[in-house]
Structure 1
Amino acid sequence: MTSRTPLSPLPFSPGTGPAIIVPILAPTPAEAADRARAAAAAAGVDVLEWRIDEHVAGGLLDAGVREAAGTPEVDGSAELRTAYDEIAAPGVPVLVTVRSQTEGGHCPDDRYAEAVEAAIALRPAAVDVEMGREEAGRLLAAASDAGVSTVVSAHAWEATPTAQELDAAFAVMAGSGADVVKIAVTPQSTADVLTLLGATARAAESLDVPVIGIAMGELGRVSRLCGGEFGSAATFATVGEGSAPGQMTAEQVAVVRSYLPR
């Protein structure tokens, strides 16, 4: 891979082994902050991924919703900022992700761009941008202008695309201007897992951005443990509740990572 270093402080660089990203999901921002502190204290954790789509769906960015519910009207952006500051306080880089309903998350599709813009305004280490969104180009540019790294993502929830389709998707996403490219697939067989790992290896070798390739579910667990051997720059693991099927604990992944060459 011809290296183009992503905007700091994402710890994705060739030769260092896959970074361990721990998703933070919670019904309230206060609970998210508690879980973030616990995750940040766990050994081997490199990045926290704060999933805010459930908070957006619950009306965090909509003061009118809270007022109608009889709760004090608080600026949703200010509440988001307060929670983010607590989550970022331990000093572990934070990736803020808004997962739309189309991509398996909670955020209504018509609120997606607004929510990502709110995430960018926090100035985290990075934000996730779904490649399939009509607004992806604008959001990637907005993050770049703000000095925020971007992880452009795509998910195949029903199956695994062909090797040719994955190669093409990695290439298109790498050309989007994002700092990191992530593709997650759903394997139906071990052959599908090999297809994902092969495409990840080719992308890592040929593209000028770090790539993340994940096969989800029980069949795909090996990709979370050994994806770094195929060029994947990061893997997702849990401290407490996870965000996708097949995730293993950060402790398990860190142990395996320690035995593999870098």
Structure 2
Amino acid sequence: MSTVKIRNIVLGEGQPKIAVPNVGTNEEEILSFAKEIVAAKPDLMEWRIDYYAAGISDINKLISTSKKIRQIVDNLPILVTFRTKNEGGVLELSDDNYLNLLQAIIENRLGDAIDIELFHEEEKIKSLVQLAHNYNLVVIMSNHDFEKVPPKDVIVFRLKKMSELQADVVKMACMPHTAKDVLILLEATNEVHQAIENPLITMAMGDLGKVTRVSGQVFGSSLSFGAVGKTSAPGQLSITDLRNAENYLALHN
């Protein structure tokens, strides 16, 4: 597996890295959460801008807030994510508006990495990936299923498709209903880890899926999401619990 550098961290080597979501709904909350996140010392901060309605409706406000965040977090890498409603986000955007927003995020370089969802018009996705690379942003391509865990071959196909679309990192999250669902995701993760060069991120959500959030180093997932205060997905562990579990499971070659 090759590695991907996001500012000062490297995905795909050592223990899985830990990202903490910033889910502030206004600038004051966002900046306050940023300070708390820095104090918790994660590897990366995910700025979930779908929680920030005022910033989505005013790109200049989004840009201004991003500059204030950078002053607070200093050299901590920032992943900028607008999660669409269909994939678990909190704001509804048309396809065109979503894609235009991603273009603005890239061209104004609001972070070090950007999340691009797989299920949008393929040629436009390809164009955004190329644009992000032109601006030296890392692309994490993603797909989220909050209803179920798809069959293993579907998970494998989607993750490989993201790799074919030139994503730097590929991500899949889904909702298990049985222990077998969790095993399906872990088997798919292991298979894709052996098949592609990209670092990958997978997780099963909810209580059943908690094991997948801490076992990445065993099955090939390179990053997990922990919470400082408010979570952004069901089953998300606190950064403290996540770090303790990862250290306990650390592989020593």
TM-score normalised to structure 1 length = 0.88
Output one character per residue of 1:166-220: Cα deviation in whole Å (capped at 9) or x when no partner. Answer: 1111111111111100000111101111110111111112211100011011110
Greater relative contact order (Cα < 8 A, sep 6+): 1
Q: Runs of 5+ in structure 2 lacking a partner?
A: none
Q: Residue 209 of structure 2 corresponds to which residue in structure 1?
A: 220
1:54 equivalent in alignment to 2:41 = no
Determine which structure has more spread, i.e. the larger CA radius of gyration: 1
The partner residue of 2:24 within 23, 26, 35 is 26
Would the aligned equivalents of 1:29 and 1:80 in 2 still touch at CA under 8 Å? no
Distance in 2 (CA, whole Å) between partners of 1:132 and 1:235 is 22
Distance in 1 (CA, whole Å) between partners of 2:36 and 2:148 is 34
Distance in 2 (CA, whole Å) between partners of 1:20 and 1:230 is 16
1:98 equivalent in alignment to 2:82 = yes
- Residue 229 of structure 1 aligns with an amino acid whose one-letter code is V
Q: Residue 93 of structure 2 corresponds to which residue in structure 1?
A: 108
TM-score normalised to structure 2 length = 0.91
Q: Residue 127 of structure 1 corresponds to which residue in structure 2?
A: 114
- Residue 81 of structure 2 aligns with an amino acid whose one-letter code is T
Identity %: 33
Q: Post-superposition shift, 1:86?
A: 2.3
Q: Residue 86 of structure 1 corresponds to which residue in structure 2?
A: 68
Distance in 1 (CA, whole Å) between partners of 2:47 and 2:137 is 15
Distance in 2 (CA, whole Å) between partners of 1:15 and 1:60 is 35
Q: Post-superposition shift, 1:162?
A: 1.0
SS at match of 1:108: coil
1:146 equivalent in alignment to 2:165 = no
Q: Post-superposition shift, 1:7?
A: 4.7
Structure that is richer in helix per residue: 2
Output one character per residue of 1:10-37: Cα deviation in whole Å (capped at 9) or x when no partner. Answer: 6343331111010110111231111011
Q: Post-superposition shift, 1:61?
A: 4.4
Would the aligned equivalents of 1:10 and 1:125 in 2 still touch at CA under 8 Å? no
The partner residue of 1:236 within 203, 220, 225 is 225
Would the aligned equivalents of 1:221 and 1:246 in 2 still touch at CA under 8 Å? yes
Distance in 2 (CA, whole Å) between partners of 1:226 and 1:61 is 35
1:189 equivalent in alignment to 2:184 = no
| Root-mean-square deviation over aligned CA pairs | 1.6
